[in-house]
Amino acid sequence: MDVAQYESIKTYVGFGEDSAQMLRAFHAVASPHFEGITADFYDTLERHPAARGAIVGGREQVERLKRTLVAWMHSVLLGPHDEAYLAQHARIGRVHVQIGLPQEFMLTAMNRIREQFLAHSQRAHAGSATLQAKSSRAINQVLDLELAIMLDSYRDDLLMLRLTKERQEVAEAVPVFVLALDDNGRIQLWNRALEEATGFPRTEMLGKPGKELVSDAGDRKLPIKSGGHRIARWRAAPGSGGLTYAMGVDVTSEVEMQRRTLRAERLAAVGTLAAGLAHEVRNPLNSATLQLQVLKRRVERGGRDVGTLMPVCEVVLDEIRRLDHLVTDFLAFARPRPLELRPVDPNEVVNSVLTLVRAEAESAGIELQLEQSVGLGVVPAESERLRQVLLNLMRNAIEAMGGHGTLRITTRDPDAEGFVQIEVHDTGPGFPEDAPVFDAFYTTKAAGTGLGLAIVHSIVTDHGGTISVTSEPGNTCFTIRLPTQAG
């Protein structure tokens, strides 16, 4: 019952300040009899098994309830009958629900107290019919008001209790973890599935802190009483009565399977890298071996002509340099050093790389175009690594266009997710849409190591960004997205 309803009922029964004054005057008459009224009330309950069965806890509990009833009678007569009074007396209906007192006994109990109050009022005002009528009217008004409060609270809380019981029954029936937390994060519901999985009985868990066990959406360790833990995946949502309900499933096996799969994928990736590296290393080694054999035969024949020996030596040196370049790229890809992030202006990095490749582009007949956003700001990055990324992409583009075309670099302001964007466009022949360009050792160049774009992808990812590519003949675009804040 809200305050507006309460005030409406007060008006309906005719309860006003005159009634409150009469009750305060009657309090002096009635209060010496409160103990007797209370004794009569509980004697009557004792004669009704259905009501008596609701009062559990022995003599000490009964004595406590008697003291509560005396305090209630003082409050009913003295008031003040305001908003605080409504909140306090609404709790009485809740108590009746909690102890399981049938609703009909609330009505008969209120009538029992009404009879006692009216009898004492009639005796006190036996010499004045007017005072007797006013006092009786005020008593009836306040007890009708009290009954309305109790019944409204009783109804709401009984519905809530039934709903809670139904939820508990559902929670016990479903084969998933179900728990409920109150506003303080303490456990109010712990279903059978949780008991069986953890070994903790609900009697031990109810009332304990439970917020650390669940999350809005994610995995959490669920302790086991005998030691260790399971992994539970939870979904939580607010419910009625100030409770937060969480449902979870045991994903321990799934998580372990994912770990095994990831371990297997890593081992497979290592195998692929090893096979790729062996293949790439074998080519220059074979070439160098053949040239050394040629050199050996010429020396054995007594060859001393520098003109016939030097070309062979140059080929061997080129192959050794190629091996060194391959090993350097492989180490950069497989064992990158930690980033040293500082505020970096992407436009400045783009301009510095364009300065480096301008001569290469002009000699190859490539036109350079630049479209920069003036409000780009800065990103947390390592400028040398970003230069490496852009230098690789631009040189790849120049080589791909084969002597003519346009290389366009575009920078864009942060998007809704806070990522700036750098685009590298070229007008080369492109490559198939499903080409694994970011995979290690994939290359379309005769002398390439196949690690350049793999390193580019690794650097961008280490910065918390992404790189993607679209390609068709005459239009290839690599798009780099970098966060404006460190992750």
Going residue by residue through the chain (487 aa), what tens digit of pLDDT does each one get? Answer: 678 888 888 888 888 899 999 999 999 989 999 898 888 877 776 666 554 544 544 567 678 778 888 888 898 898 888 888 887 777 664 454 444 555 555 667 778 888 888 999 999 888 888 988 999 999 888 888 887 777 676 555 544 445 455 555 554 555 688 888 888 888 888 888 888 889 998 888 888 888 888 866 578 888 898 888 888 888 888 876 678 888 888 888 888 887 777 666 655 655 556 666 665 666 677 777 877 887 788 777 776 777 777 887 887 787 787 777 667 666 666 666 677 889 999 999 999 999 888 988 888 899 999 999 887 788 999 888 898 899 889 988 998 888 789 999 999 998 888 899 999 999 998 888 778 787 766 666 655 556 678 878 888 888 889 999 898 889 999 999 999 876 5
Name which of 413, 420, 424, 417 is nearest 468 in CA terms.
424
Phi-psi region of 199 (alpha: psi -120 to 50; beta: other; left: phi over 0): left
Determine which helix (DSSP H) or strand (DSSP E) holds 466, and give its type and residue range: strand 466-472
What distance in Å separates the CA atoms of residue 157 and residue 163, rounded to the nearest whole number?
10
* Residue 239 near residue 180, CB atoms below 8 Å: yes
- Give the pLDDT confidence score for residue 420 in this predicted structure: 93
Q: Return the closest-CA partner of residue 469 out of 396, 413, 417, 414.
A: 396
What is the β-pairing status of strands 229-238 and 187-190? unpaired
Query: What whole-number distance in Å separates Cα of residue 208 and Cα of residue 66?
Result: 32
Q: Helix, strand, or coil here: 476?
A: strand
Sheet holding 419-426, edge to edge: 366-371, 405-412, 419-426, 475-483, 466-472
Q: What is the pLDDT of residue 261?
A: 74
State the pTM of this model. 0.40
Distance between CA atoms of residues 116 and 122, nearest Å = 10
Query: What's residue 316's pLDDT?
Result: 79
- Other Cβ atoms within 10 Å of 256 Cβ, number: 11
CA atoms within 13 A on the CB side of 252: 11
Cα 352 from Cα 358, distance rounded (Å): 10
Q: What is the dihedral of CA 130, 134, 136, 137, to 10 degrees?
A: 140
Q: Looking at residue 481, what DSSP letter applies?
A: E
The pLDDT of residue 438: 79
Asked whether the beta carbons of 454 and 392 are under 8 A apart, the reply is no
Strands 244-250 and 366-371: unpaired
